Amino acid sequence: MPSLARVLVLRAWTVLGIETSCDETAAAVVRGRAPGPGEILSDVVFSQLEEHRPFGGVVPEIAARAHVEMLDGIIERALAEAGCRLGDVDAVAATAGPGLIGGVMVGLVSAKALALAGAKPLVAVNHLEAHGLSARLAQGVEFPFLLLLVSGGHCQLLGVEGVGRYRLYGTTIDDAAGEAFDKTAKLLGLPYPGGPRIEALARGGNGRRYDLPRPMRGRDGADFSFSGLKTAVRQLVLSADCNAADMAASFQAAVIDILTERTRAALGMFRRDFPGAAAPNFVMAGGVAANGAIRAALAALAQENGFAFKMPPVKLCTDNAAMVAWAGLERAQLGLFDPLDAPARARWPLTA
């Protein structure tokens, strides 16, 4: 008679996922088994960009209210597009943090209600883990792998041993890369969100025109810092007749140099810690992974160092519920469920 744990691993699961950690209201239904790839049966995302654009960034209260107004309908649509009802899913997963606490609470409370009403197990998902496991949803990437998680709120390098098992190699000591993109765009008078605007503008600029700093470069370890870079951009924009395209290109080039140099250090740490990984994978995830120039530079770095570069599709790099459903699926297959009093968390480090 096989053990329950073995049965859980072998059986395919269908999971409803809910994501409300920032300014996307999302629900999705995913089916599959670890290590993937999985099947995305539905993936519904309502973006609040227009609501926040006048403020140049996300306003937490506006985001939370929009989640309250939109989430029920989005969940109904996700189930309908997947061709199933609540009774057909095996578990309900929701982002429980980190994120804007008001928004996180909306999604998590909704998931708890659905789990209770449908007699389904609940999985409280770490939003960072959802990003980290998204490459398994898309490509079935095997453990262990090196992960660069780079987004508006996070910038980390981690050795991923398995679900819930992470080794932190480097993290930002101040701002995240995505935040630096948005702040630089605002300084240049570009509309929110800033990341795609900077990338588009940089294509027509001279990336060597402005001599911007590369904080932490050459130091031991793999930590990041972007505050000094952002400050240098601000000083140049305010004190000189700044060419916007050249500044965008120079800023993006500096970010690429920082990410590349810090990742190179982490590649060595991963080799040290996982000597048995003959053909290791390097996974890049998070919203900043949508930047084509950054992707190209890090893919080249991986190839130079004998790593296979893996990345989920761009639509799975930004916040979405499919990755939350998949992270919930992976945890469910290991029997890692959560009680109905699982807390919402504004902060929730992967290595805690």
User: Quick count: other Cβ atoms within 10 Å of Cβ 345?
Assistant: 19
pLDDT tens for 4-40 read 444 445 689 999 999 999 888 999 999 999 999 999 9
pLDDT over threshold 50, residue 3: no
DSSP string, 87-100: GG-SEEEEEEESS-
Across the beta sheet with 165-171, the strand order is: 165-171, 155-162, 145-150, 281-285, 308-310
**What does the pLDDT average to over 166-170?**
97
Work out the average pLDDT over 228-241: 91
What CATH number belongs to 4-134+316-333?
A: 3.30.420.40
Domain 144-312's class? alpha beta
Q: List the end-to-end C-alpha distance of the chain, in Å, as a whole number.
A: 36
Task: Provide the residue ranges of all domains of the chain, joining segments of one domain with +.
Answer: 4-134+316-333, 144-312
What value does the mean pLDDT of the chain take? 93
Beta strands in 56-200 (DSSP E): 91-97, 122-126, 145-150, 155-162, 165-171
One fold for both 4-134+316-333 and 144-312? yes
pLDDT digits (tens, 9 = 90+) for 317-350: 989 999 999 999 999 999 999 999 999 999 999 9
Residue 352 has pLDDT above 80, yes or no: no
Q: How far apart are CA 261 and CA 299, in angstroms?
A: 13
Supply the angle between the helices 227-239 and 177-187 in degrees, to the nearest 10. Answer: 10
Contacts of 221 (CB under 8 A, 6+ apart): 169, 170, 265
User: What per-residue confidence (pLDDT) applies to 57?
Assistant: 73
